[in-house]
Amino acid sequence: MRREVGFVPEVDPGEIAKRQPADYFTRFAFGAGISLAAGLIGMKFGPVVGGVLLGFPAILPASLTLIEKKEGKEQASIDSLGAILGALAMVAYAVAVVLVVSRFGVVLSLVVALVVWLVVAFALYALVAAVYKREPAPP
């Protein structure tokens, strides 16, 4: 049975019990491995390089692999697009903090950056949803 993919995120707590412990271990292992590698690279090349690498979504490779295996390439593709949009919104957040922190202080700059993140994230989501709604869904 083909599952229709919509643009409204769904939350189903019952899915947690359906997963095997190996799935959670795989995600944990990928996340720990990527974080360890970023930490070691940061120790070798400095905190700026290490910090940039720690921004990598550590469990994304494991999650996409498991999603592809259980739900197919289309669902994994949609989830990877969501990760890209989220990363772009986080870049906007970081840029906003850098631009306003020296002028307004930490607390206000984080509030401004949060607003920037929300605006960028929702705008990107709306843009992608509008583009995909115009194109026919693959058979």
Residues 24-73: tens digit of each pLDDT: 888 788 778 888 888 888 889 887 777 777 766 667 777 788 888 888 88
Across the chain, what does the average pLDDT equal? 80
Same domain as 53, residue 29 = yes
Q: Supply the DSSP string of 103-126, one letter for each residue.
A: HH-HHHHHHHHHHHHHHHHHHHHH
Looking at the predicted structure, is the pLDDT value of residue 80 above 60? yes
pTM here?
A: 0.60
pLDDT-derived band at 139, boundaries 50, 70, 90: low
54 and 95 in one domain?
no
> Which of 22, 37, 71 is at the close of a domain?
71
The answer on pLDDT for 82 being more than 60 is yes
Q: Are residues 2 and 61 in the same domain?
A: yes
- Range of the structural domain that residue 12 is part of: 1-71
What pLDDT is attached to residue 2?
42
| Contact in structure between 23 and 66 (CB atoms under 8 Å) | yes
Number of domains into which the chain is organized: 2
By C-alpha distance, which of 36, 73, 75 is closest to 58? 36
